[in-house]
Amino acid sequence: MLDVGRHPNIDLMAYSEVEEVAGDCGDFRVTVRRKARYVEEDRCTGCGACKEKCPTVLPDLFNEGLGTRKAIYSWFAQGIPSTHTIDPAHCRQLNGKKCGICQKVCQADAVNFDQKDRVVELDVGAIVVATGYKVFDPSQIPEYQYRQIPNVITAIEFERLLSASGPTSGHLHRPSDLLAEAEIEALEKDVKKSEKTLDRFEQKYDQASAAFYDAYQKGEYAGDEDREKWAEKYAAHLALVEPLEAMKKEAEGFGVAKRLAFIQCVGSRDFRFYPFCSGFCCMHSIKEAIIANEHERETTSVIFGMDIRAVGKGFEEYKVRGGNQSGIRYIRGRVAEITEGPHHNPVVTYEDTRERKVVSRDFDLVILATACAPSEGVDRLAGILGIELNRFGFFKTGTSRPLDTTRPGIFACGCAHGPMDIPESVAQASGAAARAAQIVAAANLRKAS
């Protein structure tokens, strides 16, 4: 990534979109909108002082909503370019409320609330489409209860939990536990406030609240409005403290998720959504199970699939090793339903087709291996570029020229072309580069030194 940012021959336009393409192979005129970041890209050094002070907290999409970010943010710490961006939908200053703290603390004088989108025109000879894919949203499968049960998550969310740079520093905390801890934190704040209020009364009347309340309940202080207030506050306080203690006790038993279930083909090989196979999700689940086991040796995983497709170089060996050394069991069957059991444990009901049994079993965490779907806006982009989509919704390419789209001079590679893993994407990317280079070969002097 760094090489891209530094290469003299690459003009990196991040936070930008292609709006229009005119012309033809060899002579395209492309209109690109460079969206306003409200931060001067060449001044921002990525130091992060701004986001420390920003008051607006939002879900962090890079961490799939499992963590938070501020209205001024960087997509991720090692991102290229390293500049920050202000989210115009949520920034206070940009929405008419007074703030501007980021501008005040920025030592590089990079914040600029007056920045506008810039529209640039590019003349190019060829275009390479490498727009990737979109992760299928499993809330479309009601029987998996993805939004209802907190401990049912997607593969990419699991990836963020496993990541040392993720929201839990690589500890596999269950989302239900994280929610409980957040609730405990909020309750503790309320309790502190309540204690302050009670303290004022205690000072005033030189009496402990508990003793006062006892007496109050026995009928003393009847008619005393001030003391009535005190009693009210105390009752409210108790109503906070009791559940808080119970929650804290339960939280003592929180550990990391150790019994994992991976459900393959969520959205894939499914007539309701995408009939095709997403290619890499079997391997992805195996990898996640192996790494989870590395983090915590007691972790066991069950992978539910129809066919376990480990077809790339080294993949079958990896899968077998996972089964032998990392506590993975492969069960052939599609999961019928997920319900929630005690302790927020997801309960998976499935048919083990090899054993010919229908089973319901609970796990600590269920991970849905979601489909690799055509990316957001692919129809619009196809329209802008004047190229066709194939029947699966990806960019259509030729039979004997597999990287050429339906329009000369425009090429597709990677998941924009169809679901594939990283080595295939890389090989195709080089291939598309070759095709594009051939178009402009005549115009370039091929003096690259």
User: Under rule CB under 8 A, which residues in 62-121 are in contact with other proteins?
Assistant: 62, 64, 73-76, 78-83, 85, 107-108
CA dihedral of residues 372, 310, 165, 130 (deg, nearest 10): -40
State the pairing for strand pair 259-266/365-370: parallel
Closest Cα partner for 131 from 340, 441, 432?
Answer: 432
The only residue of 15, 205, 221, 254 in contact with other proteins, by rule CB under 8 A: 15
Other Cβ atoms less than 10 A from the Cβ of 204: the count is 11
Shortest Cβ distance from residue 406 to other proteins (Å)? 16
Contacts with other proteins in 228-247 (CB under 8 A)? none
Interacting residue with other proteins among 40, 45, 181, 334 (CB under 8 A): 45
Q: Which is nearer to other proteins, 73 or 212 (CB)?
A: 73
Question: Rule CB under 8 A: is residue 40 a binding residue for other proteins?
Answer: no
Closest CA to 346 of 368, 367, 363, 370: 363
Q: Which is nearer to other proteins, 215 or 306 (CB)?
A: 306
- Cβ proximity to other proteins: between 216 and 404 the closer is 404
Give whichever of 78 and 139 is closer to other proteins, judged by the CB atom. Answer: 78
- Tokens found for residue 180: 């409980």
> Taking contact as CB under 8 A, which single stretch among the options 128-136, 195-203, 207-215, 224-232 is the one that binds other proteins?
128-136
* Rounded Cα distance, 425 and 420, in Å: 6
Where in 266-325 is the site for other proteins (CB under 8 A)?
Answer: 269, 275-277, 279, 283-284, 286-287, 290-291, 307-318, 320
The torsion angles phi and psi of 421, rounded to 5 degrees, stand at -90, -175
User: Which parts of 330-369 interact with other proteins (CB under 8 A)?
Assistant: 332, 353-354, 356
**Residue 141 C-beta: closest distance to other proteins, Å:** 18
SS3 290: helix
Specify the residue, 26 or 100, whose C-beta has the smaller distance to other proteins: 26
Nearer to other proteins, 139 or 169 (CB): 169
- Per CB under 8 A, the list member of 144, 262, 350, 394 interacting with other proteins is 394
Q: Considering beta carbons, is residue 359 or 434 the nearer one to other proteins?
A: 434
Quick one: which segment of 141-149, 231-239, 360-368, 435-443 binds other proteins (CB under 8 A)? 435-443
Assess whether the previous peptide bond of 81 is cis (omega < 30° from 0).
yes
Residue 26 in the binding site for other proteins (CB under 8 A): yes
Residue of 114, 123, 225, 252 interacting with other proteins (CB under 8 A)? 123
Task: Measure the CA–CA gap between 434 and 15, rounded to whole angstroms.
Answer: 26
By CB under 8 A, what part of segment 202-231 binds other proteins? none
Q: Which is nearer to other proteins, 89 or 222 (CB)?
A: 89
Residue 29's identity, in one-letter code, is R
Shorter beta-carbon distance to other proteins: residue 17 or 195:
17
The answer to whether residue 6 forms part of the interface with other proteins (CB under 8 A) is yes
Beta carbons of 338 and 366 less than 8 angstroms apart = yes
The torsion angle over the Cα atoms of residues 391, 395, 398 and 403, rounded to 10 degrees, is -150
Sign of the dihedral defined by the CA atoms of residues 44, 49, 51, 54, in that order: negative
132 scored as a contact of other proteins (CB under 8 A): yes
Q: Is 186 in the site for other proteins (CB under 8 A)?
A: no
Stretch that binds other proteins, among 172-180, 188-196, 334-342, 393-401 (CB under 8 A): 393-401
For residues 60 and 67, give the distance between their C-alpha atoms in angstroms, rounded to a whole number.
Answer: 5
For residue 231, which of 219, 213, 207, 215 has the smallest C-alpha distance? 213
Does 389 participate in binding other proteins (rule CB under 8 A)?
Answer: no
Cβ–Cβ < 8 Å for 335, 167: no
Residue 426 interacting with other proteins (CB under 8 A): yes
129: tokens are 């489409």
Q: Considering beta carbons, is residue 217 or 438 the nearer one to other proteins?
A: 438
Residue with Cβ nearer other proteins (287 or 344): 287
Single-letter amino acid, residue 439? I
Of the candidate residues 58, 156, 215, 236, the single one contacting other proteins (CB under 8 A): 156
Count of residues that interact with other proteins, criterion CB under 8 A = 136
Q: What is the DSSP string of 361-428?
A: EE-SEEEEEE-EEEPTTHHHHHHHHT--B-TTSSBP--SSSTTB-SSTTEEE-GGGTSS--HHHHHHH
- CB of 402 vs other proteins, minimal distance in Å: 5
Q: Which of 299, 327, 322 is nearest to 310 (CA)?
A: 322
The CB-of-438 to other proteins minimum distance in angstroms stands at: 5
Q: Least distance from C-beta 63 to other proteins, angstroms? A: 8
Nearer to other proteins, 203 or 399 (CB): 399
d(CA 192, CA 393): 55
